[in-house]
C-alpha cells in the first residue's frame, strides 16, 4: 500500500518553539488553516481512499479540507499522536529542546531503552505507532493519508524505513504539512518513496521565522552528526 504521513498545519506552539504534546492540544493558526486548505488540490488526484488522524485537535483541523473534498470521514487513531514530552512539556529553552530531540535521536541510533524524562521510552513509542500503522494497513485502502506530528513522523519513518541510509531526524526537515510517502506493509516492511519536507504550497505558506523544534534538522549538543543506522 501507499502511506502518506502528513504533518499537521502550523500551531501557536510551532510559532513559539514550545514542546507541546498534551492531548488534545491547540488548533491551527491562520497560516495553519491556509496550509491545510492547500491539501485537496495537492492530493485530490492521488487516489486517497482513507484518512486517519491522531487524537490531537491540530490533525483533525488539518485533515478536514482533504477529507471533505474526498467525501471521507477521518478515523481517529490515538497511536498517531506526538511523542510525549513528559517533564519537558511546555518548555522552549534550548536545553529542554536538546533533551527532547536528543532522546528521540538516541532511539534512532538503537538506544530504545532511553526514556524521555517523565515520559515513554523508544520501545513504547514505536509499539504504539506501529500498531496505528497496522490498523491503517488492515483497512484495505491502496493509498491512505495519516495526519500526525513532526517528531513522531520523522522518528517512525527514520526508524522503520529500510532505505534510509542517513539519519532522518538529523538531515530531513518536516515542516507543517510536509509529507513522507512510504510504500509497503507491516509484514514486508516500508520504504520511503518521497520525503517532501516543505509545506504543501511551498514558500507562499511557509513561516521561516518559526522555531518549530520538532520539524527542524537536529544537531546534537557537541555538534557531531548522529551515526547512520
Catalytic residue ranges: 8, 82
Q: Confirm if 12 and 57 have CB atoms less than 8 A apart.
A: no
Contacts of residue 24, defined as CB under 8 A and 6 or more positions apart, other chains included, come to: 55, 56, 57
The dihedral of CA 172, 20, 38, 65: what is its sign?
A: positive
| Rounded alpha-carbon distances, angstroms, from residue 52 to 67, 96, 151 | 9, 30, 17
Strand-pairing partners, residue 115, are 121
Strand-pairing partners, residue 76, are 53
Amino acid at each position: 500500500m501507499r502511506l502518506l504521513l502528513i504533518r499537521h498545519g502550523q500551531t501557536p506552539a510551532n510559532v513559539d518553539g514550545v514542546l507541546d504534546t498534551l492531548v488534545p492540544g491547540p488548533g491551527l493558526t491562520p497560516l495553519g488553516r491556509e496550509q491545510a486548505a492547500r491539501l485537496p488540490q495537492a492530493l485530490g488526484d492521488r487516489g486517497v481512499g482513507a484518512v486517519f488522524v491522531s487524537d490531537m485537535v491540530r490533525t483533525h483541523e488539518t485533515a478536514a479540507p482533504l477529507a471533505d473534498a474526498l467525501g471521507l470521514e477521518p478515523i481517529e487513531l490515538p497511536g498517531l499522536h506526538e511523542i510525549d514530552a513528559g517533564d519537558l512539556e511546555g518548555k522552549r529553552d534550548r536545553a529542554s529542546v536538546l533533551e527532547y530531540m536528543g532522546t528521540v535521536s538516541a532511539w534512532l541510533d538503537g538506544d530504545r531503552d532511553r526514556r524521555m524524562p517523565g515520559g515513554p521510552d523508544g520501545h513504547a513509542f514505536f509499539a504504539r505507532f506501529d500498531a496505528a500503522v497496522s490498523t491503517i494497513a488492515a483497512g484495505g485502502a491502496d493509498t491512505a493519508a495519516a495526519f500526525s506530528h513532526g517528531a513522531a513522523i520523522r522518528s517512525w519513518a527514520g526508524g522503520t524505513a529500510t532505505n534510509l541510509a542517513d539519519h532522518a531526524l538529523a538531515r530531513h526537515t518536516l515542516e507543517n504539512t510536509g509529507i513522507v510517502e512510504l510504500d509497503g506493509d507491516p509484514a514486508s516492511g516500508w520504504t520511503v518513496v518521497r520525503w517532501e519536507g516543505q509545506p504543501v504550497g511551498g514558500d507562499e505558506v511557509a513561516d521561516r521565522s518559526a522555531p518549530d523544534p520538532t520539524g527542524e534538522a537536529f544537531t546534537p549538543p557537541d555538534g557531531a552528526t548522529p551515526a547512520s543506522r
